[in-house]
Amino acid sequence: MITVEALTKSYGGTVAVDNVTFKAEPGRVTGFLGPNGAGKSTCMRMMTGLTPPTSGHATILGKKYDELTNPGRHVGVLLDASAQHAGRTGREVLTLGAKTMGLGTDRVDEILDVVGLTPPEAKRRVGDYSLGMRQRLGIGHALLGDPEVLILDEPANGLDPAGIRWMRGLLRSYAERGGTVLLSSHLLHEVEQIADDLVMIGRGRIVRQGTKQELLRGAGTNAHSTDDAALASALQAANIPVQRTQTGIHTPAEPIEVGKIAAANGIVLVQLGQAGGAGLEEMFLNLTAADSREVAR
């Protein structure tokens, strides 16, 4: 388990992380989501003892990271795949990690197989690796000590679609065996298919958190009827916000509420359901828009 309580980090007069509190539970994948610059990486660096917090604290398995004995055997960390030693081979990187943790070299062979790095690739220098290969190596290093907790910052960067699918399957099976996974990303759709819980951060503050199902319910409803203009008017008359879409309407109201209003006004519904992933992504973008570096054109 990871427990983060009132974690805050200030640099001079700038507050990079502001009173962040959440938990990542065993047997579940927690998606830590926010735009670039929202404070995700700073939070993870504080969790793993690399950056001292201004206030608050984070514990992993009930202890601060620097209180763990042989931490690599308990917590697997990937914060920056590009930070690996470019002059060493992939096998050398893992072998040094294994020796540091008191593991045998047979574990290195196991991990190379798990992450899909072939023997010839393992003999190449990391400086010659693609970003996707570095990510696989970094994930392998995090898994090396067979830890109970994984903390991964943007692990999908550089992976092709097949690699992303592989990563999702790997982390899903890890959680199903009782492991705790904290996975950061600035793109919701990368983690939506794997995450059980979501923590959304913007400008260093938590803006929404909960299970994926809870947040999907809050993503609103999509509806399409034989007369969408009449349905929109009926909903607005009931003080329910409405947004017209290419395929009908979107509203923050629950499906049952939309259905009742349609029935009361004699409007035939063709489609009615929770907004799902698209609505969740719209919510995510709206909640974090003020912190996004992307400019609408």
Q: Is residue 118 domain-resident?
A: yes
Q: Are residues 35 and 94 in the same domain?
A: yes
How many CB atoms lie under 10 A from the CB of residue 141?
Answer: 23
Work out how many domains the chain is built from and give that number. Answer: 2
Mean of the pLDDT values across residues 109-136? 94
Q: Quick one: which of 200, 261, 255, 273 has its CA closest to 39?
A: 200
Q: Two tokens at 237?
A: 């008359």
What is the sign of the dihedral through the CA atoms of 202, 204, 208 and 211?
A: positive
Q: Output the average pLDDT for the chain.
A: 89
Cβ pair 125, 85 in contact under 8 A = no
Q: Are residues 248 and 228 in the same domain?
A: yes
Q: Are residues 254 and 155 in the same domain?
A: no
> From CA 185, how far away is CA 35, in angstroms rounded?
8
Q: Where are the alpha helices (DSSP H) in the chain?
A: 40-47, 90-101, 106-115, 119-122, 131-143, 161-176, 188-192, 212-217, 228-237, 255-264, 276-288
Mean of the pLDDT values across residues 140-165? 92
Q: Are residues 57 and 193 in the same domain?
A: yes
Q: Are residues 139 and 263 in the same domain?
A: no
**pTM for this one?**
0.81
Q: Which residue has the tokens 């054109």?
A: 297
**Whether residue 212 has pLDDT greater than 90:** no
> From CA 200, how far away is CA 93, in angstroms rounded?
33
Print the domain residue range for 257: 220-274
> From CA 41, how far away is CA 208, in angstroms rounded?
18
Q: Are residues 39 and 168 in the same domain?
A: yes
Reported confidence tier of residue 87, pLDDT bands at 50, 70, 90: very high
Q: Are residues 190 and 44 in the same domain?
A: yes
Q: Are residues 196 and 262 in the same domain?
A: no
Q: Is residue 194 domain-resident?
A: yes
Q: Is residue 15 domain-resident?
A: yes
Cβ pair 181, 1 in contact under 8 A = no
Q: Which residue has the tokens 């060493």?
A: 88
